[in-house]
């Protein structure tokens, strides 16, 4: 039981590589545990603490270690797009009968993700080098606009239908909506009659 408990503790605390222990019995048959940390292993791990290896297929003359690290650090952007793919676009499992339909569904979802990303990119580029704006959150702090926040605010726009002499108009209820439309270089004066 003592050995099993020590095994659980070393696995849970991740010290199996440096913890040394022995279990023996004294004259009365009581188990005695003696343990210590291997100082050589601790010193070796402390020497490489904060370092990690990056494996790449690029030859050394094409990319030095600094460039490889910069490319690796850009991985967060890709991961954020996977988050958008599963989050705001709400991609869920769909069961289809033919491979062509699977390919078509994936193509439509990828096009939606592309439009989502391009809208976010356009707004950030139009904001200039600072890439932050106010009005996206209730406390009015300056933040970088995300695609999710842009669509949240633009999703509240409504179209007033009008009639023959009165053209349809987009009703803007908040200034942040107008600011986002300006950043996207969208002319809301050219509204069209909705298709029936």
* Chain segment 86-142, per-residue pLDDT in tens: 776 666 667 778 888 888 888 888 888 888 889 999 999 999 888 888 888 888 888
Task: Give the strand pairing for 158-160 and 169-171.
Answer: antiparallel
d(CA 30, CA 163): 94
| CA nearest neighbour of 153 among 137, 132, 169, 130 | 137
pLDDT category, 84, cuts 50, 70, 90? confident
Q: What was the pLDDT predicted at 196?
A: 45
In this structure, the number of other CB atoms found within 10 A of the CB of residue 179 comes to 20
Q: What integer pLDDT is reported at residue 168 of this predicted model?
A: 76
Kindly state the average pLDDT of the residues 25-32: 84
Burial class (CB in 10 A: 0-12, 13-18, 19+), 78: exposed
In the chain, the percentage of residues whose pLDDT exceeds 90 is 5
Rounded Cα–Cα distance for residues 107 and 102 (Å): 9
Beta strand extents in the chain (DSSP E only): 19-25, 31-37, 158-160, 169-171
pTM for this predicted structure: 0.53
């Amino acid at each position: 039981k003592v050995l099993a408990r020590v095994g659980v503790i070393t696995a849970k605390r991740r010290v199996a590589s440096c913890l040394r222990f022995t279990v023996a019995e004294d004259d009365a048959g009581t188990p005695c545990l003696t343990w210590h940390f291997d100082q050589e292993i601790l010193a070796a791990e402390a020497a490489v603490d904060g370092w990690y290896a990056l494996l790449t297929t690029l030859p050394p003359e094409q990319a030095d270690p600094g460039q490889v690290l910069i490319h690796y650090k850009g991985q967060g952007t890709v991961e954020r797009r996977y988050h958008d793919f599963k989050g705001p676009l709400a991609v869920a499992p769909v069961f289809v009968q033919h491979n062509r339909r699977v390919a078509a569904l994936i193509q439509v979802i990828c096009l939606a993700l592309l439009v989502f990303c391009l809208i976010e990119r356009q707004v950030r580029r139009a904001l200039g080098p600072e890439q932050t704006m106010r009005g996206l959150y209730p406390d009015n702090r300056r933040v970088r606009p995300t695609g999710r926040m842009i669509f949240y605010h633009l999703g509240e726009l409504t179209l007033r239908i009008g009639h023959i002499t009165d053209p349809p108009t987009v009703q803007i209820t908040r200034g942040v909506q107008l600011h986002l439309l300006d950043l996207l270089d969208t002319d809301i004066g050219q509204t069209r009659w909705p298709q029936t």
